[in-house]
DNA sequence: CATGAATGAGCATTCATTCAT
DNA sequence: CATGAATGAATGCTCATTCAT
């Protein structure tokens, strides 16, 4: 079946994504992935050529969710720069939380020197999204609506805050024991709201010449 | 003899730290570490019991640099809360940049489900420092000098920004090509100043009721 | 359709022959063969039952070139024994050089203990040709034209010399660097002539009671 | 123990030699070799780096028996060229028969294109011995004791005859059923004598201007 | 306290083959 | 008669660890 085939490849990529997130790339064996995906060990090499090929294809496939909306945002003439930043923060939090396995994996593997090509591919995927944010901030500065902030480091602040919340779940729950109430913190709408509100507040205070 | 032993242990931990940072925990073999440290393969198990034991001891040993100064800071009655935050940002940037191998490793391995005990130990190490920062922020709120901000998420913003700068070096250099000039970005004093200034500015705008 | 099938079978056997010669039986994968033959992986098992079946069928099919002329030679009453030996040497050199891939493969695989049936089949193929040569030599001895030579070992000398030239090409070119001039040594008529002349000379001196 | 260590390496090389001879290089697995040698699978990689490394080291180690005596022979001023050839034939037959596993393996693997370095190493090993024989024949020609024969092809005749007898044992026994009497043909002194006598006779008739 | 040798489990990958269509 | 997908066993090799000294 056509659908069957697609399913197997996707099953493998799904299993890979969650196992890579939980155990890291090297900490996850192909056997592990195939067992979770319910397919034969040889299928990974049959479909993806190698474990590394699977990783690359998985990143490419899963990264697609990030593309699209951001470009529209940039072109929208109706929105003010601060509204754009507000929206971009919302999109980032929603997407990175929804795809936290992917976020975790990419964040972690991006800083390794092994597998240079994968490394660069991931940097490029992120770079694309991040440079849009940079353009929006610089647009705000040009329009004199924003202070002359360090746009590159603003990106690290936004992205770093969200990534940190995902990777340091345990520490976060030690700091705020209330968070243990949520069965799944990142799917809890009130937590998402809290994070979005915090980040928007931080950025508004930082970017706008007169704080609200 | 006594010093010899200590040296070898330290050599192993040094080699482990930099290799774990570059290749990850599972991506680094005990043989690799021992070869870099110039010691016999059996030494790791001899001294540390296991590879995992080495990791744990290495984290404990290398984490010591984080302790000390922060407690003094909290007790210092002369400093205002905002001055404390400024100082703490300076300390964090300097230390995390100086010990970026350690930061990278801990950030990455902290989010793995395997090796639960290590996981918890690392969270505890970080928690200790982070909760001091939290106390300072809440002290500022109590003294009506700060807005009623989300202190837990402020910690993620500070820590996440710095960690992001360390782990996403490649993407950062794609955003700001000027950074390629530095041979070693994280040792470059002007870059450190830039980061500290950005973070202090972000936090001051966010925390203080009237922006400077 | 009918021709298509035959073509595909032959394509597979052709690819198999040259790959087995270059890499050995075990060193060549069914996928390799099918890729070179431009057919589906499953075709080998479909047509030949198994890789071993392909090997057997290929040997049988390719061995046909050896049959035919030799029987006529034996029956020819006009030719003297020494003329028959001369001719047989010519035929062997021409054929073994022209089909050096086959010669190489058979020579190599004949001495393996695995795949007993293949082993015996190949020995039988060769035995058939070699026993004709033996009969001719013994005819010469009977007719008192030849010395009482060791006919079995004469066969090894003729066959072994030619086979050695094919399998030790590299060493041969080290001994006589002039041979590097030929792009394809075994297709070079002057080299063939040289080998035929050498072998005829060796055998004439050995067989004939008075050397020419 | 010092002796123990040497023993294990040698045990592995011994097992490798006989299995490579029986099944070919690719047809023999490292597990197979280690099982026969009574050692752990990892020892091959520990001692020899890889299967290929084992092959190379084994060839180098086992080839040593060929060196030594031949050089002495060349220098011996007392012996006439024909006596030298007689002796060299005796030495070759004795050694190649005694080390028929090695002979078989090298003959077979020498003609493969994979593993180029091994290929060249083996050609060099053989070349060394064969070029000595060439020098002796050319010395005989220079001294007008031999005909102007093709010295390069004479080498193929001598080496090829012996190699053929080793690799085509089955066909040989079909030609001369008497040979089935010997439990181990190649260790049977009468067969060795027969082969030596044949080859000396062939070469004497071919080389000497007046046949005996 | 130190080490080279050794181990067995596990790794990613490839194999010849078979299956469903 | 033909095929792309799938399989389980085997491949060479590396791993963290242990052992004998």
Per-residue tens of pLDDT for chain D, all 212 residues: 344 445 889 999 999 999 999 999 999 999 999 999 999 999 999 999 999 999 999 998 888 777 777 778 778 788 999 999 999 999 999 999 999 999 999 989 988 877 777 788 888 877 888 888 999 999 999 999 999 999 999 999 999 999 999 999 988 999 999 999 999 999 999 999 999 999 999 999 999 986 44
| Interface present between C and B (3 or more CB pairs within 8 Å) | no
Nearest to B167 among A111, A166, A198 (CB): A111
According to the model, what pLDDT value does residue A40 have?
A: 94
Domain boundary among D58, D76, D103: D58
To the nearest whole Å, the CA of A128 is away from the closest chain B CA by 10
Domain boundary among B33, B61, B89: B61
CATH number at residue D9: 1.10.10.60
D101 neighbourhood in chain C, CB within 8 Å: none
Do C117 and C186 share a domain, yes or no? yes
Q: What is the pLDDT of residue D4?
A: 44
Mean pLDDT over A126-146 rounds to 91
Do B48 and B112 share a domain, yes or no? Answer: no
Domain CATH code at residue D172 = 1.10.357
**A touches B, CB cut-off 8 Å, minimum 3 pairs:** yes
Residue at A180 is within a domain: yes
Q: Return the top range by mean pLDDT from C9-13, C45-49, D200-204.
A: D200-204
Residue D212 in any domain: the answer is no
Q: What is the pLDDT of residues A2-40, one digit of tens each?
A: 444 458 899 999 999 999 999 999 999 999 999 999 999
Query: Are the beta carbons of B111 and A174 separated by less than 8 Å?
Result: no
Chain D's closest residue to C131, CA to CA, is D175
Nearest-nucleotide field for A51 (CA, C1'): E12
pLDDT at A210: 67
Q: Is C153 within 8 Å of D127 when comparing Cβ atoms?
A: no
Q: What is the mean pLDDT of chain A?
A: 90
Whether residue C201 is contained in a domain is answered as yes
Share of chain C above pLDDT 70, in %: 95
Inform me whether the pLDDT recorded for C155 exceeds 70: yes
pLDDT tens profile B91-122:
999 999 999 999 999 989 988 877 777 788 88
Nearest-neighbour CA in chain C from D10: distance (Å): 23
Helix (H, G, I), strand (E, B) or coil at D37: helix
CB B43 within 8 A of CB B25: no
Distance A62 CA to F13 C1' (A): 32
Q: How many CB pairs under 8 A join A and B?
A: 184
Identify whether residues A194 and A107 lie together within a single domain.
Answer: yes
Nucleotide nearest to D43 (CA to C1'): E6
* Residue A4: nearest nucleotide (C-alpha to C1'): F5
Query: Residue C48 domain-assigned?
Result: yes
Nearest CA distance, C90 vs chain D (angstrom): 16
Contacts of B176 (CB under 8 A, 6+ apart): A152
- To test the contact with chain C by mutation, choose from D160, D180, D210 the residue with the greatest count of C C-beta atoms within 10 A, namely D160
Q: Is residue D71 part of a domain?
A: yes
CB pairs under 8 A between C and D: 185
What is the Cα–Cα distance from D171 to A177, expressed in whole angstroms? 85
Looking up tokens 């970017």 gives A207
Q: In the predicted model, is pLDDT for residue B2 greater than 60?
A: no
Chain E positions with a protein C-beta closer than 7 Å: 1-19
Measured CA B116 to C1' E21 distance, in angstroms = 48
Q: For residue B62, give the 3-state DSSP assignment.
A: helix
Cβ distance of A130 and B171 shorter than 8 Å: yes
Is the distance from CB of D164 to CB of C159 less than 8 angstroms? yes
Do B198 and A150 make contact, defined as CB atoms within 8 angstroms?
yes
Of D155, D175, D211, the CB nearest to C152: D175
| Structural domain harbouring D40 | 2-58
Q: Do B81 and B125 have their domain in common?
A: yes
Domain finish residue from C56, C77, C93: C56
Q: Do D22 and C124 touch (CB under 8 A)?
A: no
* pLDDT the model gives residue D103: 92
Q: How far apart are CA C162 and CA C140, in angstroms?
A: 23
Pair D85, D184 in one domain = yes
Are B53 and B157 within one domain? no
Q: Which chains touch A (3 or more CB pairs under 8 A)?
A: B
Ramachandran area for residue A114 (φ above 0: left; ψ -120 to 50: alpha; else beta): beta
Report pLDDT digits (tens) over C57-86: 999 888 877 776 777 777 777 899 999 999
Q: Among partner residues A26, A131, A162, which is closest to B26 by beta-carbon distance?
A: A26
- Which chains are adjacent to chain D, needing at least 3 Cβ pairs under 8 Å? C
Q: Strand F: which positions are within 7 A of a protein CB?
A: 1-19
Give the residue whose CA sits closest to E19 at C1': C42
Same domain, A144 and A185: yes
Tell me which chains share at least 3 CB pairs under 8 Å with chain C.
D
Contacts of residue B152 in chain A, CB cutoff 8 Å? 172, 175-176
Q: Two tokens at D81?
A: 């060229």
For D195, name the nearest residue in chain C, comparing CA atoms only.
Answer: C153
Q: What is the pLDDT of residue B5?
A: 54
- Structural domains of chain B, count: 2
Say if the Cβ atoms of B111 and A23 lie within 8 Å.
no
| Distance between the alpha carbon (CA) of C174 and the C1' atom of F9, Å | 43
Residue D118 lies in a domain: yes
| Cα torsion angle, A37, A42, A44, A50, sign | positive
- Residues of chain A with Cβ-Cβ distance to B153 below 8 Å are 161, 165, 194-195, 198-199
Residues B29 and B97 in one domain: no
* Model pLDDT, residue D211: 44
**Residue B59: partners with Cβ closer than 8 Å, 6 or more residues away:** B102, B105, B106, B118, B121, B122, B125
With 80 as the cut, is the pLDDT of residue B195 above it?
A: yes
Based on the fold, state whether residues B166 and B90 are members of the same structural domain. yes
Pairwise CB contact (< 8 Å): B123 & A211: no
Same domain for B47 and B76, yes or no, is: no
Task: Give the model's pLDDT for residue A3.
Answer: 41
Closest CA to B68 of B88, B46, B48: B88
Give domain status of residue C152, yes or no: yes
Question: If 0-12 CB within 10 Å is exposed, 13-18 middle and 19+ buried, where does residue D116 land?
Answer: exposed
Q: Is B212 part of a structural domain of the chain?
A: no
For residue D18, the tally of other CB atoms under 10 A from its CB is 16
Q: For residues A76-82, give the mean pLDDT.
A: 88
C-alpha–C-alpha distance, residues C78 and C80, integer Å: 7
Judge if D79 and D138 occupy the same domain. yes
Question: Which of the four pLDDT bands, split at 50, 70 and 90, describes residue B48?
Answer: very high
Instruction: Mark whether B72 and B53 lie in a shared domain.
Output: no
Residue closest to sugar C1' of F18 by CA: B42
Largest Cα span, chain D = 61
b/e burial code for range B128-141 (CB count within 10 A of at least 16 → b) = bbbbbbbebbebbb
Residues 6+ apart with CB under 8 A from C25: C55, C105, C108, C109, D24, D26, D27
From C96, C97, C113, select the one nearest C26 (Cα to Cα). Answer: C113
Measured CA to C1', the nucleotide nearest C45 is E17
| Adjacent-strand bridge partners of B92 | none
Give the integer Cα–Cα distance in Å for A87 and A83: 6
Q: In whole angstroms, what is the distance from residue B157 CA to residue A164 CA?
A: 8
- Calculate how close chain D gets to C4, using CA atoms only, in Å: 32
C101 CA – F3 C1', rounded, Å:
30
């Amino acid at each position: 079946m056509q659908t069957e085939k697609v399913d197997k490849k996707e099953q493998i990529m799904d299993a890979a994504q969650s196992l890579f997130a939980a155990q890291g790339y090297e900490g996850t064996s192909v056997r592990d992935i195939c067992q979770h995906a319910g397919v034969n060990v040889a299928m990974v090499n049959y479909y993806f050529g190698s474990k590394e090929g699977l990783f690359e294809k998985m990143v490419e496939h899963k990264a697609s969710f990030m593309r699209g909306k951001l470009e529209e945002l940039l072109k929208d003439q109706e929105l003010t720069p601060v509204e754009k930043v507000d929206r971009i923060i919302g999109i980032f939090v929603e997407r990175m939380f929804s795809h936290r396995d992917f976020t975790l994996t990419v964040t972690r593997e991006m800083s390794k020197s092994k597998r240079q090509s994968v490394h660069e591919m991931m940097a490029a995927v992120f770079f694309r999204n991040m440079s849009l944010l940079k353009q929006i901030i610089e647009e705000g500065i040009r329009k004199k609506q924003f202070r002359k902030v360090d746009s590159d480091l603003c990106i690290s602040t936004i992205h770093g805050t969200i990534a940190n919340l995902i990777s340091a779940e345990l520490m976060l729950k030690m700091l705020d024991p209330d968070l243990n109430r949520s069965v799944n913190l990142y799917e809890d709408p009130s937590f998402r709201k809290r994070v979005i509100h915090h980040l928007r507040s931080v950025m508004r205070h930082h970017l706008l010449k007169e704080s609200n």
